Structure 1
Amino acid sequence: MYRVVLVDDERLIIRGLSTVIPWAELGCEIAGTAHDGVSGLELIRSIRPDIVLTDIRMPNMDGLTMLAAIRSEFPGIQMSVLTAYRDFEYARKAITLGVCRYLLKPSNLDELQEAVKLMVSRLDAMPQLPEDPDDESVKEAGNHLVKAALAYMKEHCTEQHLSLGEVADHVYVSQWHLSKLLNRETDQSFFDLLGSMRIAKAKKLLADPALRIHEIAEMAGFSDVAHFSRSFKKIAGCTPGEYRNHQM
């Protein structure tokens, strides 16, 4: 039996999906349900299901990033979307991230069963395949996650306590997985990337002669001037003061 996780913030939808689809006849069983994206991902990490049927328009959740997180971290999981969100470009992007079917609510039983049968057939074929049948979607998912992580880091880089864990939570993956993705896609670690972003911010601030070096250090996200100066020289090749003098 393939294990299935259902994720939807509408409890009525969860109950309906649990009862209307003949799961046992299709070789499946409901392994768990969740009512928001965060708890859904926690459940997926906990029980490692074979199939996920999920909505992507739930409160406090970036649906595409959640799909990318599942695809990147668990490439063998088969996913289908059941949503009321009618947007062609959004649906197209979901497909590139490895979604088997993008179904619109209300969806009839035939459409739902066809989606489940497709996911089951893909799972049945996997043992005979030398690798994941859609390596490209896994790569696309990784790219999506890295872009989302970098955008979040750029927006929050001046916050002194920004951590890998916070960014990983934002893109719905584990710290270990995000670290691996960042290294693979950028050839840099999280801390190297964060340092570069902070130094880029500091360079802009150094153009203002009214700001003192210790003020700039704090504004750029550094906890002390000594750390700021060491990091600046390592990345820019000169001290903050030398950089300022050269620019003026």
Structure 2
Amino acid sequence: MYRVILVDDEPIIVEGLSRSVPWEKWNCRVVAAAHNGLEGKQVIEKENPDIVFMDICMPELDGLAMIAAINSQFPDLEVCVLTGYRDFEFAKEAIRLGVTRFLLKPSNMEELEEAIEKMCENLKKKGITGEEPEKVPEGDSGEENLSEGGEESPSGSFIVKHALAYIEEHYEQKLTLGEVAEKTYVSQWHLSKLLNRHTGQSFSDILNHVRMEKAKELLKDPALRIGTISEQVGFLDMAHFSRVFKKQEGVTANEYRNKILGKQKNSSRKRNGEK
């Protein structure tokens, strides 16, 4: 039978879907439920379902990011969004990211049954019959299901875009791959692979590049000590900062600053007509 998971922060919705829908009619059964986005992701990874009904307006949940993560890590999974969030652009983006149906609450039984029928048809077209479900071994976050196509999909691009934006916003902190992966709802392994494929760089290289670009801007201010700049761009160890800076720029931070300040002085003299 096809395995179904329900994700909604309203228990009455989960209970209603579980009891009122004739799941057996489509060879389906509800195997688990979750009441927030993080719990939903964990349950999906554990149960390896075929179909997910989920709300995208739950506390501490970025709905589109969650959809992208599910589709990227589980490309064969059929997802139906069931929500009270009425925004056409959001719905259009959700469908682009791989959602099969986008239903507004309150949905009637006819809409729900049409969505289930469509998702079951899609599963059959993929060769998934639901007769002998293969459960992902515990501890494996579903990466066995990852395909090259999944990495190039809109969901993969969406995840990378948001990961890069998060790095840009939090580069000055003690940022880790695990933290960024958590914010994009994917495993560290999966995010690392996506970053490498889309940018050609590792997480560490990307973070260091962002930090060095910020440092170069700060070095234009002669009043700022290099040790201060090092701390402001996220380095606790100035020696480490110096090594990374020279590796990326080919010169030390001091040499870079002197070169930049020298250019600024020459430019100022030219503007003032000095020789």
Provide TM-score, normalisation by structure 2: 0.86
Between the aligned residues of both structures, percent identity stands at: 54
Match of 1:148 among 162, 165, 176: 162
CA radius of gyration, larger in: 2
Please name the residue that 2:78 is paired with.
Answer: 78
Show structure 1 runs of 4+ deviating over 4 A: 135-138
What is the alpha-carbon distance in structure 1 between the residues aligned to residue 177 and residue 108 of structure 2? Answer: 42
Q: Deviations over 1:165-210 (max 9, x none)?
A: 0000000000000000000000000000000011011111111111
* Paired residue type of 1:211: L
Provide TM-score, normalisation by structure 1: 0.95
Matches within 5 A, 1:132-171: 135=149, 139-159=153-173, 161-171=174-184
Matches within 5 A, 1:1-248: 1-127=1-127, 135=149, 139-159=153-173, 161-248=174-261
Cα deviation for residue 21 of structure 1 reads: 0.8
Q: Deviations over 1:193-228 (max 9, x none)?
A: 000011011111111111111111111111211111
What is the alpha-carbon distance in structure 1 between the residues aligned to residue 195 and residue 151 of structure 2? Answer: 17
Cα deviation for residue 137 of structure 1 reads: 9.6
What is the alpha-carbon distance in structure 1 between the residues aligned to residue 30 and residue 161 of structure 2? Answer: 33
| Structure 2 gap segments, 5+ residues each | 129-145, 262-275
What is the alpha-carbon distance in structure 2 between the residues aligned to residue 54 and residue 207 of structure 1? Answer: 50
Instruction: Give the CA RMSD over aligned residues.
Output: 1.6
What is the alpha-carbon distance in structure 1 between the residues aligned to residue 175 and residue 108 of structure 2? Answer: 45
Contact 1:156 1:162 in 2 (8 A): yes
| Structure 1 gap segments, 5+ residues each | none
Q: Deviations over 1:88-140 (max 9, x none)?
A: 11000000011000000000000000001110111111128xxx9xx589610
- SS in structure 1 at match of 2:125: helix
* Paired residue type of 1:28: C
What is the alpha-carbon distance in structure 1 between the residues aligned to residue 172 and residue 152 of structure 2? Answer: 31
Q: Deviations over 1:35-74 (max 9, x none)?
A: 0000000000001000001000111000000000000001
Contact 2:150 2:156 in 1 (8 A): no
Contact 1:72 1:138 in 2 (8 A): no
What is the alpha-carbon distance in structure 1 between the residues aligned to residue 81 and residue 26 of structure 2? Answer: 18
- SS in structure 2 at match of 1:173: coil
